[in-house]
Amino acid sequence: MSKKILGFSEGFHDAAATVIEEDQVLFAAHSERFSREKNDKFIGEELFHHIHDNYDVDEIAFYEKTFLKRLRQLKAGQWNHAFKKRQYAWKFKYSFHHHLSHAAAAFQCSPFRKATALVVDAIGEMDTISIWKCWYENDKAKYKKIDCIKYPLSLGLFYSAMTKRVGLKPMEEEYIMMGMAAYGKSRIPVQTAMMKVLNQNLHRGVGTFLKNVSDEDIACNAQEITEKVLTKLLDKIDGPVVFGGGVAHNVVANAKIFADREHYIFPNPGDAGSSLGAAALVTKRKIDTNHWFTGYDVGQISASGVKEIVDYLEKYSIVGVCAQKAEFGPRALGNRSLLADPRDPNIKDKVNEIKLRQKFRPFAPSILKEHAEDYFLINDNQDYDFMQYTAPCHRRSEVPSICHFDGSARVHTVDLQTRNTSPLRKILEAWKARTGCSLLLNTSLNIKGQPMVNNIDHAKDFENTYNVKVFTP
């Protein structure tokens, strides 16, 4: 008889839970979607009760070794962290090393039977970078750590420290600094200075480091160093690579370092995704990842509803959609999305105003997969189903609202299979039939600093508060 395995990640940021039965993900969600607390550290009562009421869980797994993490925190003098309450850790039958959970999520969701996992984040228990040999033996996943770099040396902490240096929130707004980097200039003296601090303990940031250098140049050069370090790490690895850990969220780096490598990037590579990794380590099976819609289900939008959405888009240029199961991950894939007309040169500013975002920040396009090459320079070695890479746009003048300052876009391709799990495919088909345009601006249905909409009540609150029509079943 098959067992249902519940994997948890919680304690510091982005708590999440995943339920797996054999090779199927039955449910996966960030705690913040239920608690409404951005980057919620703990599994709140709302999420806990949802799982309890809907899934008869047999075993529970945790994404790291709590005791080892506390030893590191005590050694580092982080007393408040060391004695911080971990709500459910004591209940878990299984606990796994932090980086191993990252590696398992990446490998067991990948198409490979044998691969090398590269895990790069701020820090697990002690590891900040680790490399794992991964393979299946009698259809059971096996792992062997072959190399690692330990705290305090950390590429992830370096990027977070530079995020704080430019006035953004570390461990949360790194993606904003990544966008800022396009506005800066590459400067060798700046990178030389950065390489020196890269070898220091950056847990407390860098203060006013390089105070006479612009924020944009700080961002640009931090991004370049990150790409160089990742490239050197990959040069040590032969064969297919699976990539996990928070640094795998860097879509600009991903596009460059994996341009010519056989690889797989786990769609939710941060700590939240490690909840899946912990559960996967119990099952030891390859996980079916045909889609990434595993969260709270609000029901389907009808064919007439799709037509109404396109009608509204054509008239007002922007619309919200809340339908079917929520996405598991940090990016909107169509089921909890704000959609807008990419042809309107003013729509980007309008959407940024609604979402309370910096004006320089770009938006991603969602496009019918078969038409992606009509607009973007697509790399055949990269899978754009989860917005994990940027690509140059060669029709920028036609769709100005989805292009960044450097002419790139974080492309999201939508294939025919998605018809079964999201209304976005049908919306795009109807939009193309109506306008001839194969893509829409797509961003998450939330505003800056708030979790994505999870249920219909949240959708209606968003509609009433921000005066944006949100279509629901």
Q: Which residues pair with 409 in a beta bridge?
A: 391
* Per-residue model confidence (pLDDT) at position 11: 82
**Tens of pLDDT, residue by residue, the chain (473 residues):** 789 999 999 887 889 999 999 999 999 999 999 999 999 988 888 998 999 999 999 999 999 877 676 666 565 666 566 556 555 554 567 889 999 999 999 999 999 999 999 999 999 889 999 999 999 999 999 999 999 999 989 999 999 999 999 999 998 899 999 999 999 999 999 999 999 999 888 988 999 999 999 999 999 999 999 999 999 999 999 999 999 999 999 999 999 999 999 999 999 999 999 999 999 999 999 998 878 899 999 999 999 999 999 999 999 999 999 999 999 988 899 999 999 999 999 999 999 999 988 888 888 999 999 999 999 999 999 999 999 999 999 999 999 999 999 999 999 999 999 988 999 999 999 999 999 999 999 999 999 889 999 999 999 999 999 999 999 99
Q: Given its phi and psi angles, is residue 324 left (phi above 0), alpha (psi -120 to 50 degrees) or beta? A: left
C-beta separation of 55 from 3 below 8 A: no
* Per-residue model confidence (pLDDT) at position 386: 94
CA distance 337 to 173: 20
Domains identified in the chain and CATH numbers: 1-109+269-289 (3.30.420.40), 111-265 (3.30.420.40), 294-471 (3.90.870.20)
* Per-residue model confidence (pLDDT) at position 204: 85
C-beta separation of 244 from 64 below 8 A: no
Q: Which residues contact 368 (CB under 8 A, 6 or more apart)?
A: 413, 414, 425, 428, 429, 432, 438, 439
* Per-residue model confidence (pLDDT) at position 1: 72
pTM of the model: 0.94
Element (H, E) at 137: strand 127-137
CA distance 252 to 350: 25
